[in-house]
Amino acid sequence: MKKLAFILLLCYCHTLSAQDNNRMQWWREARFGMFIHWGVYAQLAGVYDGHEINKAGEWIMNRGKIPVAAYREQAAAHFNPVKYNPDEWVRMAKDAGMKYIVITAKHHDGFALFHSNASKWNIVDATPYGKDLLLPLAAACKKYNIKLGFYYSQAQDWNNPGGAVSRKVTSEGWPNPDSAKIDAYTKEHDGHWDPAQETATFAQYIDKVAVPQVREILSNYGDVAVLWWDTPTNMTDDAAQKLQALLKLQPNIITNDRLKRPNFPGDTKTPEQRIPKKGEMEGADWETCMTMNGTWGFKRNDNKWKSDTTLIRNLIDIVSKGGNYLLNVGPKPDGTFPEQSVHSLKAIGNWMKVNGEAIYGTHESELAPPTWGRITAKGNYLYLSVFDWPQNGKLEIPGTKIISAQLLADGKKLITNDMTINLPAKTPDGIAAVIKVQIKR
């Protein structure tokens, strides 16, 4: 009997693994997605009451210790994104070579980009715009065959009563003369700075806001590919279980590891603003999320833009180590993308149109990362993304037997000799020229 039970358990585990692999297949092949951080915080654009708030963007309410009533008046009451064009957004993502989009359905300020019956603090009831932002985005994603995912801040909520707060000292935002008084208050009140935030318990917030809102976004917008939890501040197993139970509404959904650690690991790990070392994430599905500049949400004075070269090489580096790249855009309050984001998306798209074969459906190579670039693999092929073109015109690939090699840029066949490829004098792409190499296994 014990032997039979063990065999049945093995069969059950094998079935679960097969189901998980089927569910994860599109995500593992996609490799590249767009993160969108958007909300009423874009209206403030990093400035409150004449003060530029450090580390702000989507965190401006917390960093600036803005009272609930003032935040609603200065941010939501003026938020009217009349230039919002979700069709254009999705086309830009598709043209950039992205396969999925994850948007902040609700960030830590508790504001919902969708019409919610669980809280009036949403785009329809709290702003002059008065229309659900997610419905037309879902339609556009379906039109262009882009997977749609939702970010949802399940624990932190600085507006809906009872929501958790990650405590930040006042000086992190700006040199407020009342810092000592405010910091003493937040220390005594679990990070809260406004009595309006504490008129309900965390358990009540979970039951009355988080659970019904997650049910809404999983029920009202068609197929939801990803649910991206964030910051499990004060989360309990009981609260996490209530939210986890809702996933049955979308049986094929993929979730990350931020619902509650360590008991709710989800499907993917989420290194933020960094690229792991080779082997660091071995055996795991993982996704690096990263900004184009210094902030997630729109901040008018943030001009620390990454170059097109950096963004493209980041993508290659991440995929060469077995991960996905979730690259962020922080739209402006009128609903348009910042000009630099649009420029970079076009540049990435131009590279992907030629070299996407080296990204989609590829995986980590067994070879060590070379000094001249990165390597991705698929079947009996290696894709050599060359950042630094060898001056001697030769590329050595130790530990391989090369059958053939060609440039993706023009299809030109290259002369090979065992482990060596003879290259043209000049690179066809100064950012990353890709050579497709067939090898003997």
What are the tens digits of pLDDT across the range 289-311?
Answer: 999 999 999 999 999 999 999 99
Which parts of 86-159 are beta strand (E)? 100-106, 147-152
CA–CA separation, 264 and 277 (whole Å): 24
Residue 436 three-state SS: strand
For the residues 41-48, what does the mean pLDDT come to? 98
CB 105 within 8 A of CB 151: yes
Which pLDDT does position 10 carry in this prediction? 44
Which pLDDT does position 435 carry in this prediction? 98
Helix or strand (DSSP H, E) at 48: strand 47-48
Sequence length of the chain is: 441
Beta bridge partners of 421: 395, 416
Q: Which residues contact 276 (CB under 8 A, 6 or more apart)?
A: 286, 288, 321, 323
Q: What is the pTM of this model?
A: 0.95
CA–CA separation, 45 and 58 (whole Å): 9
For the residues 144-167, what does the mean pLDDT come to? 98
Amino acid letter, 132: D
pLDDT at 395 over 70: yes
**What is the pLDDT of the chain when averaged over all its residues?**
95
For the residues 243-265, what does the mean pLDDT come to? 97
433: tokens are 């020229």
Which pLDDT does position 339 carry in this prediction? 98
Using CA of residue 326, residue 330, residue 336, residue 342, what is the dihedral sign? Answer: negative
Beta bridge partners of 36: 103, 329
Which pLDDT does position 8 carry in this prediction? 40
Which pLDDT does position 359 carry in this prediction? 98
Per-residue pLDDT tens for 205-216? 999 999 999 999
Q: Tokens 């580390």 map to which residue? A: 55
pLDDT band at 5 (very low <50, low <70, confident <90, very high): very low
Which parts of 184-256 are beta strand (E)? 226-229, 254-255
Q: What does each C-alpha distance from 270 to 267, 286, 431 come to in angstroms? A: 10, 6, 26
For the residues 119-136, what does the mean pLDDT come to? 98
Residue 75 is classified by DSSP as T
CA–CA separation, 345 and 343 (whole Å): 6
Q: How many CB atoms lie within 10 A of CB 399?
A: 9
CA–CA separation, 176 and 186 (whole Å): 14
pLDDT band at 11 (very low <50, low <70, confident <90, very high): very low
pLDDT at 14 over 70: no
pLDDT at 268 over 60: yes
Residue 171 is classified by DSSP as G
Helix or strand (DSSP H, E) at 72: helix 68-74
CB 341 within 8 A of CB 34: no
For the residues 403-424, what does the mean pLDDT come to? 95
10: tokens are 């093995």
> Which range is least confidently modeled, 9-23, 75-89, 192-206, 315-329?
9-23
Which pLDDT does position 399 carry in this prediction? 85
Per-residue pLDDT tens for 311-356? 999 999 999 999 999 999 999 999 999 999 999 999 999 999 999 9
- pLDDT: which is higher, 323 or 7: 323
pLDDT band at 13 (very low <50, low <70, confident <90, very high): very low
Pairing relationship of beta strands 285-290 and 268-269 according to DSSP bridges: parallel
197: tokens are 């935030």
pLDDT at 144 over 60: yes
pLDDT at 15 over 90: no
